[in-house]
Structure 1
Amino acid sequence: MNHSETTLLKDIRTKLKEIWGYDDFRAPQREIVSSLISQQDALVVMPTGGGKSICFQLPALMQTGLTLVVSPLVALMENQVKELRDRQLPAALLHSELPSQQKWQTLQLLDKQQLRLLYLSPETLLSQKVWEKLCNPQLKINGIILDEAHCLVQWGDTFRPAYRRLGAVRPALLKNKPQGTKIAIAAFTATADTEAQKTITQVLQLQSPAIFKQNPYRQNLHLKVQIAWTPKGRKQQLLNVIQAKPEQTGLIYVRTRRDSENLAEWLTNLGHTTAAYHAGLSPEERRQIENHWLTSKIPFVICTSAFGMGINQPHVRWVVHFHPPLLLSEYVQEIGRAGRDGKDSIAITLISEPTGWLDPEDKQRQKFFEEKMRSHYSSAQQLAKKLPVQGEVSTIARQHKEGAIALSLLHSTNQLEWLDPFHYQIHPPIKIKPPAHFPAAQQMTKYLTTKQCRWQYLLNAFGFASEISKCGHCDNCQ
């Protein structure tokens, strides 16, 4: 290590101690921080609770200029920005739910270059007013961080098509900046298999990225899959878990808003203190439930997949999937909320019996997901034939309900390129063929029915050479 590297390491350790009170880094935090300070692109796969946010917050705070943090959820942004502001650090956020006055104040801070970190969603980043501010040649931008980057893969093709345009952001910004300006891009996620890593790298146009991958294996997290033979039996099994864990912090994951409300009502009538959490609640209601859960006023929440992402609660002792997730990446994210303090915790998934005769709900949900995806592909195929070969995203989105999704799917099948984040070019002939099957959904089904060590299955699925043949703490090993 040369003199300048030694000095840099000393500086970042000093800053780490000064802001967060830690004496040293956890592996591989130091290497990631050094990489981002040297403005190298990076792809970081680290387990939930591994300390990802420090890896990009610290470099941002050590440099003059702005770092943009593109984040999928309001709760996630607010949680991280609150922690930074509590430490008197120059961070802010922008999202559609903010009052106008607060948005205006943040834009003023941006103009005056008084921010080091600005958190925003992909959609806010690409909104006209914000984009114009970011293109100001005087505004120095050091880097763009994509937090929870697996959302680009899970949601980018259909649910959140703005994700697919993020690769065009850096070149467009650089056109407005002084000659020689560098803007690094780093993607952070807890779950990305080799295919997802490839997609993230391609979509973001990462340039020779430094790659950091950490094994998601957690010895204190015990995995279990239980068959629920009937809907009534499923509820009883859930009740057994809750009663066996009195006063312990937990999470119950369901698939839909209605499921969360129905289950919360049933458990409340039985005398349990709980709440339903989903995207249909107002921002105020969501924040209140999060705070009540964090402060143990509510021991457990019945939630859809958005809950818990980036919310720092180390003492979760149990996670129950009342319904199995559709994707293995979702599953690993959600079980990763448990046992972040290193103490023994359990993750239980309830599934229907294999035939689905007595309780067909799981099979119906799987079928609904696949049919919805095929419908998106089919609509996009029809619509794509009507679109101009060159055009503007906002015009297409105004004219056609699923216009942005059609463009996104064309991009995912390499039939479209972004000329900039707002304009596209289609390369005919157009072929958007719905897949015959969905490998990601099949991967989840295989996990739920496997007889091998569950941890070994997960590690293999996410591209880690597993040294585990029997973990000793999943239901199959025991």
Structure 2
Amino acid sequence: MIPPSDSNTTEQVKNALKRFWGYDDFRPPQQEIVEAIIRGQDALIVLPTGGGKSICFQLPALLKNGLTIIVSPLVALMENQVKELHDRHLSAGIIHSQMSPIQRRQTLHQLQNNSLRLLYLSPETLLSKPVWNLINKPQVSINGLILDESHCLVQWGDTFRPDYRRLGAVRPTLLKHKPPGSKIAIAAFTATADPTAQNTIKTVLQLQDPQEFILSPYRDNLHLKIRRVFTPMGRRKCLLSLMKQHQKQTGLIYVRTRRDSQELTAWLETFGYKTAPYHAGLSAEKRRKIESQWLEGKLQFVVCTSAFGMGINKPNVRWVVQFQPPLLLSEYIQEVGRAGRDGKPAEALTILCEPTGLLYPEDRQRLSFLQDNFRQQMMTAKPLIKKLPQKGHLETVISRFPDSAIALSLLHSQGKLEWVDLFNYQIKDTSLSLTENSNTVAIRQMTRYFATRDCRWKFILEAFGLGTEAQSFRCGHCDNCDRHGS
């Protein structure tokens, strides 16, 4: 281990990269990001999938004094990154609900003794009493907070995982209990954040004059295709057709539910394919085994939900099929971006039902469910807000009003509530407007993407706020460009 220091030179940083990861040099703009985080600056980083973002926060954490906390959305993602760090004999820990009590106590002991450089937590675990009370102690030295996959704050923060909305109060609450002069930098990383999402992330996290590294998601080796089908069997035939074009090449098949992953796997096995279903309902041991088999080439492909892929690096994925369409462009980019990380040609196919949905209504039913669920949450929240105290302690309020966490999150998303600290809120306005949330707007954007006759990469660039780059853009290798002879 290199002795920790907060005054690392560029040469020291490059030496550490070589020693820990075996790389001679950084990819642009990794070095600039690493040095900004080492200097203790807030940062917003939007790097394409496969852009090597984990090194950008892991390396500074290993070189700085104290602990860096990484807030991450999925247990599988955290476990993969911690395993890779342990394989390199680097100091990292993880706490999540599926751990044994012994494992949990061991990590908490390391945390209390300041013997960890990186600690991976979900938002819910970070804000749980046992973990928070320990992190909050003056003697536990914390230098930074990293929000990995920060687009999840926008996707899920309003109505699914409301603890994301409280993360902006973490730094000021911690600093009240740390020695005078303590500094905690915050960096948010994602591969998918349009300008609206970027502003939400900066506002919610209360980033202070952040350095911004916003890179284009465009990948000139990734061929994007959309196919429409009329029946469930048509969807399966479309899948088989692409798989035959990529015989023995590594791929991924994305579905939307655990049941779909199991049923599609069973159907493909009848054709002699050796594969496995992968979803968040599997044990950590089972997930790890499937990941290893796929990474080692023992499985050609995996039939998976969105729980698979984040943080798993396999360069030679030649094809990705979204057997059912994602609802959000951020999900779309994350999933198709698993293909072609080695820079060689790769194909991403999304299968949709025909436009009316009359003959094959499955895709539209999934869309309607999400929208109806949001409307129901809004209708539940509106009368509840009238009953909530204007100022309150979260745990006390939740014990009295079990649905209040989402109601408070919705108020916060509309700028009508502020978190005084992590556990106390103040409502400024109770008139919650029955407006569309960010996901509803994003769903419409995804629908427009599927319907566009223009270059698909041009649409994506415009959606990510890269209008100048998108002007007169033609990738020449999406289905629309193929159709128009570009």
State which drifts further: 180-189 or 302-311.
302-311
Identity %: 59
Match in the other structure for 1:466: 469
Match in the other structure for 1:206: 207
Deviation by residue 1:124-166 (Cα, 9 ceiling, x = unmatched): 1101111111111122111000000001000111111111100
CA positional deviation for 1:7:
7.0
Q: Secondary structure at the match of 2:133?
A: helix
**Does 2:410 match 1:439?**
no
Instruction: Name the aligned partner's letter for residue 263 of structure 1.
Output: L
Q: Give me the whole-angstrom Cα distance separating, in 1, the residues matched to 2:375 and 2:288.
A: 35
Q: Secondary structure at the match of 2:37?
A: helix
Q: Secondary structure at the match of 2:480?
A: coil
Q: Secondary structure at the match of 1:95?
A: coil
Q: Give me the whole-angstrom Cα distance separating, in 2, the residues matched to 1:73 and 1:129.
A: 20
Match in the other structure for 2:72: 71
Deviation by residue 1:178-232 (Cα, 9 ceiling, x = unmatched): 1111100000000000000000000000000000011111111100001112221
**Does 2:290 match 1:285?**
no
**Does 2:140 match 1:139?**
yes
Alignment of 1:138-287 (within 5 A): 138-287=139-288
Q: Give me the whole-angstrom Cα distance separating, in 2, the residues matched to 1:268 and 1:134.
A: 48
Contact 2:417 2:425 in 1 (8 A): yes
Q: Give me the whole-angstrom Cα distance separating, in 2, the residues matched to 1:409 and 1:92.
A: 33
State which drifts further: 60-69 or 468-477.
468-477
CA positional deviation for 1:462:
0.5
State which drifts further: 221-230 or 401-410.
401-410
Q: Secondary structure at the match of 1:270?
A: coil
Match in the other structure for 1:25: 26
Contact 2:8 2:63 in 1 (8 A): no
Gaps of 5+ in 2: 1-5
Match in the other structure for 1:450: 452
Contact 1:409 1:432 in 2 (8 A): no
CA positional deviation for 1:286:
2.2
Instruction: Name the aligned partner's letter for residue 320 of structure 1.
Output: V
Deviation by residue 1:402-428 (Cα, 9 ceiling, x = unmatched): 221111111111111111111211123
Deviation by residue 1:293-315 (Cα, 9 ceiling, x = unmatched): 22222211122222111111212
Q: Give me the whole-angstrom Cα distance separating, in 2, the residues matched to 1:386 and 1:286.
A: 44
State which drifts further: 261-270 or 313-322.
261-270
Alignment of 1:11-410 (within 5 A): 11-410=12-411
Contact 1:378 1:432 in 2 (8 A): no
State which drifts further: 350-359 or 431-440.
431-440
Q: Secondary structure at the match of 2:253?
A: strand
CA positional deviation for 1:362:
1.5
State which drifts further: 423-432 or 395-404.
395-404
Q: Secondary structure at the match of 1:142?
A: strand
Contact 2:67 2:141 in 1 (8 A): yes
Q: Give me the whole-angstrom Cα distance separating, in 2, the residues matched to 1:400 and 1:279.
A: 29
- Give every structure 1 segment of 4 or more consecutive aligned residues whose post-TM-superposition deviation is greater than 6 Å: none
Contact 1:274 1:301 in 2 (8 A): yes
Q: Give me the whole-angstrom Cα distance separating, in 1, the residues matched to 2:383 and 2:318.
A: 48
Contact 1:374 1:434 in 2 (8 A): no
Match in the other structure for 1:477: 481
Which TM-score applies when normalising by structure 1?
A: 0.96
CA positional deviation for 1:252:
1.1
Q: Give me the whole-angstrom Cα distance separating, in 1, the residues matched to 2:23 and 2:243.
A: 36
Deviation by residue 1:22-45 (Cα, 9 ceiling, x = unmatched): 111111111111111110000000
Q: Give me the whole-angstrom Cα distance separating, in 2, the residues matched to 1:382 and 1:232.
A: 45
Q: Secondary structure at the match of 2:479?
A: coil
State which drifts further: 224-233 or 326-335.
224-233
Q: Give me the whole-angstrom Cα distance separating, in 1, the residues matched to 2:160 and 2:314.
A: 28
Q: Give me the whole-angstrom Cα distance separating, in 2, the residues matched to 1:211 and 1:292.
A: 37
Instruction: Name the aligned partner's letter for residue 475 of structure 1.
Output: D
Match in the other structure for 2:3: none
Contact 1:378 1:434 in 2 (8 A): no
State which drifts further: 307-316 or 287-296.
287-296
Match in the other structure for 1:420: 421
Instruction: Name the aligned partner's letter for residue 442 of structure 2.
Output: A
Instruction: Name the aligned partner's letter for residue 446 of structure 1.
Output: R
CA positional deviation for 1:6:
11
Q: Secondary structure at the match of 2:306?
A: coil
Change (3 A) 1:380 1:227: same
Which TM-score applies when normalising by structure 2?
A: 0.94
How many pairs were matched up? 474
Q: Give me the whole-angstrom Cα distance separating, in 1, the residues matched to 2:282 and 2:187.
A: 32
State which drifts further: 31-40 or 385-394.
385-394
Q: Secondary structure at the match of 2:32?
A: helix
